[in-house]
């Protein structure tokens, strides 16, 4: 409810300090004071922003509303001025403000702003300065949130990418442990039958020379037929667990003719142990190969992260290869690309000249542009083309998608700060603004052309 207020109390607000008495009297006459108890809702989403507010006592916690949930933004303390300011384009509040303590607030309606300009240009200038500071701080916070959001996406994708090879290593290691534990007993059983040295030589030769990674692709039906034939043949040789061994033998491209030649040199009682040892040895080699490939994949991912983040260099501009940055960014986003079944076309001119810049900054540009291209494509496929060409004293980098395109009424505003076509809570409207400023800081320019089925962003970077 309204309460009385004195000029001395009004000057406890730093913005109102040292104002002439006539200005203070005008503020007292044209403003009002409202009080709020702790926990009272002061601002609701979509409330009109009609008042300049100066907090004489207490404080207010401001929350953003995302997906029906409140997320704390910042707190307005006693002595601060908030709400609508002169020349601000704010019309409605998007968040919710709750009194954090018993509070007393001075309020001046927007209808009095024109007269305030005549009464005290000095105060208006102070308030405009506050608005500039507020816009700058909000831009920094939004930019930071945009980076954190991008980092969250990359972290989720990277965790998924690392999980696959790590899980493959764990599975292969467990199976390898079982296989290697069984090999000594099989070897001992072979020795009990006093194998002919020539037969043993042929057996070990099959284990060491059989191809492990160049097997001819077969259809599922062909594979099943060959496996059934091999199982029958192994049973004819007295091998009781033919189904267990057949897959390993076929994967190494060992067919019945090669195995028959070896079986003829073995005593019948030695054949089960011999074929079990051979299959186990082949499985061991395959598992070792799988572990090596999975480890290489992890090493490649770590290398991509290092290239992407530019961890081993400072922040100064240096000669760099833009295609390396594009490819590392592409790898960082590979999970999102696979999730939507997106085809990526790489079209890089050979021997591109290097540009001078910051890898981490440029990778942020590629991340924003690629992330937007991924979002623009449907759930079940699409094409993204990465193209790089040298032209005059520039390297031109194109990121093209065949999505629905950017509407003609949106295209002129696409680089405006805080302008976003995404759903509420999904974008800050700063991604393309940041990208454009980074390219500008590198002495280049960022262009966009769009029509249905073809959206093309082109970054010009001086060599």
Give the per-residue pLDDT at 242: 73
- Strand pairing partners for 401? 384, 455
pLDDT at residue 72, as a whole number: 84
Q: Which residue bears the tokens 């922040």? A: 315
pLDDT tens by residue, the chain, 463 residues: 345 789 999 999 999 999 999 999 999 999 999 999 999 999 999 899 999 999 999 999 998 877 777 888 888 999 999 999 998 888 898 889 999 999 999 999 999 999 999 999 999 999 998 888 887 777 666 666 666 666 666 666 667 667 767 777 888 888 888 777 777 777 777 776 656 777 777 777 777 765 544 445 666 677 777 777 777 787 777 777 776 777 777 777 777 777 777 777 777 787 887 878 878 888 888 888 888 877 877 777 676 666 565 544 545 678 889 998 898 888 878 878 888 889 999 999 998 999 988 877 888 889 889 988 998 898 877 999 999 999 989 999 999 999 988 888 888 888 876 556 554 444 434 468 878 888 988 899 999 999 999 999 999 999 9
Give the pLDDT score at 297. 73
Q: Give the helix/strand (H/E) hosting 439.
A: helix 431-441
Domains present along the chain, CATH in parentheses: 7-119 (2.60.120.10), 158-301 (no CATH), 314-462 (3.30.565.10)
Note the pTM of the prediction, 2 decimals.
Answer: 0.47
Task: Measure the CA–CA gap between 357 and 322, rounded to whole angstroms.
Answer: 9
Instruction: Supply the pLDDT for residue 262.
Output: 75
The CA angle 74-75-81, to the nearest 5 degrees, is 110
Residue 254, pLDDT score: 75
pLDDT at residue 32 in the model: 93
What is the DSSP code string of 16-44? GTT--HHHHHHHHHH-EEEEE-TT-EEE-
The reported pLDDT for the residue numbered 446 is 93
What tens digit of pLDDT does each residue of 266-320 get? 777 878 878 788 788 888 888 888 888 778 777 776 766 665 655 445 456 788 8
Give the number of other CB atoms < 10 A from CB of residue 399. Answer: 22
Using DSSP bridges, classify how beta strands 51-57 and 81-83 pair: parallel, antiparallel or unpaired. antiparallel
Identify each DSSP E strand in 236-323 by its residue range: 318-320
Half-sphere exposure of 434 (CA within 13 A, CB side): 26
């Amino acid at each position: 409810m309204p309460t009385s207020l004195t000029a001395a109390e009004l000057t406890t607000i730093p913005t109102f300090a040292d104002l002439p008495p006539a200005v203070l009297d005008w503020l007292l006459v044209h403003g009002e004071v409202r009080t709020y108890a702790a926990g009272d809702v002061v601002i609701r989403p979509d409330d009109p922003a009609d008042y300049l507010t100066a907090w004489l006592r207490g404080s207010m916690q401001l929350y953003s509303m995302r997906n029906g949930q409140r997320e704390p933004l910042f707190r307005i303390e006693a002595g601060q001025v908030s709400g609508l300011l002169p020349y601000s384009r704010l019309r409605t509040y998007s968040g919710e403000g709750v009194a954090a303590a018993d509070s007393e607030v001075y309020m001046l309606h927007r209808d009095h702003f024109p007269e305030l300009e005549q009464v005290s240009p000095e105060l208006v200038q102070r308030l405009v300065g506050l608005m500039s500071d507020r816009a700058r701080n909000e831009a920094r916070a939004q930019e930071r949130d945009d980076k954190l959001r991008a980092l969250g996406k990359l972290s989720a994708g990277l965790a998924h990418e690392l999980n696959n090879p790590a899980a493959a290593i764990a599975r292969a290691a467990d199976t390898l442990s079982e296989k290697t534990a069984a090999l000594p007993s099989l070897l001992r059983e072979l020795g009990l039958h006093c194998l002919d040295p020539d037969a043993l030589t042929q057996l070990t030769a099959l284990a060491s020379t059989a191809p492990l990674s160049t097997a001819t692709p077969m259809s599922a039906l062909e594979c099943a037929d060959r496996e059934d034939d091999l199982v029958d043949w192994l049973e004819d040789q007295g091998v009781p667990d033919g189904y267990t061994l057949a897959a390993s033998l076929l994967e190494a491209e060992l067919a019945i003719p090669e195995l028959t030649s070896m079986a003829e040199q073995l005593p019948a009682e030695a054949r089960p142990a011999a074929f079990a040892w051979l299959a186990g040895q082949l499985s061991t080699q395959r598992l070792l190969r799988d572990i090596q490939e999975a480890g290489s994949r992890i090493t490649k991912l770590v290398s991509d992260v290092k290239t992407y983040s530019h961890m081993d260099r400072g922040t100064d501009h240096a000669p760099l290869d833009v295609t390396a940055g594009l490819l590392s960014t592409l790898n960082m986003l590979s999970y999102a690309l696979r999730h939507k079944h997106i085809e990526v076309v790489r079209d890089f001119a050979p021997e591109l000249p290097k540009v001078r810049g910051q890898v981490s900054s440029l990778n942020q540009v590629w991340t924003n542009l690629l992330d937007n291209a991924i979002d623009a494509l449907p759930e079940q496929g699409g094409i993204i083309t990465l193209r790089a060409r040298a032209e005059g004293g520039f390297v031109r980098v194109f990121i093209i998608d065949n999505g629905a395109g950017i509407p003609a009424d949106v295209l002129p505003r696409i680089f405006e700060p805080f302008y976003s076509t995404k759903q509420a809570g999904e974008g800050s409207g700063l991604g393309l603004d940041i990208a454009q400023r980074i390219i500008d800081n590198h002495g280049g320019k960022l262009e966009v052309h769009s029509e249905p089925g073809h959206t093309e962003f082109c970054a010009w970077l001086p060599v």
